Amino acid sequence: MMQKFQKFGAAMFVPVLLFSFAGIVVAFGSLFTNQAVFGSLASPGTTWNSIWDTISAGGWTVFKQEALLFVVGLPIGLANKSRGRAAMEAVITYMTYNYFVGAILTHWGASFGIPNFDKIQIVENSTNHGLTEIAGIKTLDTSIIGALVVAGIVIWLHNRYFDKKLPDWLGTFQGSTYVYILGFFLMIPLAVITCWGWPKVQLGITQLQHFIVSSGVVGIWIYNFLNRVLIPTGLHHLVYIPFQYGPAVVAGGLQPYWLRHLTQFAMSTKPLKQLAPQLGFQLYGNEKMFLAPIICLAFYVTAKKNKKKQTSALLIPAALTSFFTGITEPIDFTYLFAAPVLWIIYSLLSATMNTIMFSFGVVGNMSGGAIDTAAENWIPLWANHWQTFLTQIVIGIIFAIITFFIFKYMIVKFNYITPGREEDTEEVHLINKKEYQARKAEQAVTQTDEQTATDPYIERATAFLDLLGGSSNIKELSSCATRLRVTVADPDKMGSDAQFKAAKAINVVHHGKAIQVIVGLDVAQVLEAMQELRKQDNKQD
């Protein structure tokens, strides 16, 4: 079950990767159309305002069509084969579902508590009686929940029936068409159930929203702790995504809500916490800027003298990546399973820091690194809210210092094997150039030996494939932002963690047959190379 949750969380991350860039675009659009910053230059009707308003309109695409993105993204992560076709099947089935919902409410809306459905106009920044438009279809606003349910049904149908052989006279209905036919008829009862039950769910979500918001600092602390401590399981995606992009706190998600009101917040002199108290749930980027990089410093300080140079080469890029982009996994998995106590301490410190920041009035869309935080908070809001950000920075620095001394003390006291403290005599076998070239020759790769020998992706892909026990030992292979996610048939056929590290993996996570190889930000290229190698292996078999 845990393995399935991990796969689901990784699949949800596929569309989430787009939100960071879109958020920066919208934030800059809001900044450059802010008259408090740019004066008359940013007034409505000026060329300057029109240009940036146009750019912002493009940036809003991701947020306004986020349900479609999750419908497309889930099959990419979870379909067993022909993922592009699975994504197409999911999109058309999801649109069919929404057309059914719209038609049912048009004819019988009063019976489901939504009279005059066809007369309700969808208005920007309004609850719209729980309605919305998706790809031009007026329907119930099921947000990403409806998208995930429909996508999940289509993925199940695709994995089970995509390859089903139909009689020759029905051959034209095989494959994607057959999956869509089945999905078409399943969407009818699902649409009826939605029309009956979703308005009640919306009421429940509204009540839950009030409870979460009114829970104050306790709710903030629990949310931040879970969002950090669950990273090893991959379940943290299920914690923050409904808050950031779904309806858990506000309709449409906290990040779109913040960006939509950014100009209003920038021009107001009221405290940010008074303007947007819900945004206390979006502070978990602070540990990425203040704590993760300082943990790298603690690792360097406690590393063996003969390994400091090697350790710094590993940690400096990881620290900069965490600080600027908010991607912490290259740091997290360098010590997580060698010293799990440190991970718990880190999670406790992160939650406490963010909660104290919230208590002192710090709120905002601070879920990423310094680039996102500056673009969506500091730059557009500094003029009227610099005191809030100064408070954030001071508290962040204080907790960075506390974290450094706690980690340094714990590492030395208990001799944790953090980066730079490994045994000097550890034997590691890495595929050498001759072995690598021999394998490439067997697989009949069209590239020359000179090209393949210098290709970092193929080189690592080959090494990881061998260390995972070969193609025949791999049952499932996918990735998230920085990790290969693998299900193996026999874990005993795998190489050691030291061998993976020698092959330039950051670390390896073991959950029975579910394996995570921490690769880094170029994991997508390594995954693609591994998939090609597996195809060639299958052809030879």
Task: Return the half-sphere exposure (C-beta side, CA atoms, 13 A cut-off) of residue 488.
Answer: 25
**Cβ 320 vs Cβ 294: under 8 Å:** no
Amino acid occupying residue 88 = M
In contact, 262 and 220? CB cutoff 8 Å: no
What span, in angstroms and rounded, lies between the C-alpha atoms of 332 and 438? 35
195 assigned to active site: no
Angle of CA points 299, 302, 303, to nearest 5°: 80
Q: Which among 91, 292, 331, 480 is annotated as catalytic?
A: 480
Which SS3 state, helix, strand or coil, does residue 416 take? coil
429: left (phi over 0), alpha (psi -120 to 50) or beta: beta
- Can you tell me the distance from the alpha carbon of 108 to that of 117, in angstroms, rounded to the nearest whole number? 9
Phi/psi at 366 (5° precision): -120, 55
Strand locations in 406-448 (E): none
Q: CB-hemisphere CA count at 13 Å for 192?
A: 4
Instruction: Give residue 288's Cα distance to chain centre.
Output: 15
3-state class (DSSP) for residue 476: strand
The total of other beta-carbon atoms located within 10 Å of residue 443's CB is 16
Task: Return d(Cα 274, Cα 290) in angstroms, integer.
Answer: 25
Picking from 505, 458, 455, the residue whose alpha carbon sits closest to that of residue 483 is 505
CB 486 within 8 A of CB 465: no
Nearest-angstrom CA–CA distance, 367 and 369: 7
**10 CB burial (10 A radius; 0-12, 13-18, 19+):** buried
**Three-state SS for 336?**
coil
Closest among 67, 49, 51, 58 to 22, alpha carbons compared? 58
Asked if 23 contacts 252 with a C-beta cutoff of 8 angstroms, the reply is no
Residue in 317, 326, 284 with CA at minimum distance from that of residue 506: 317
Catalytic site positions: 480
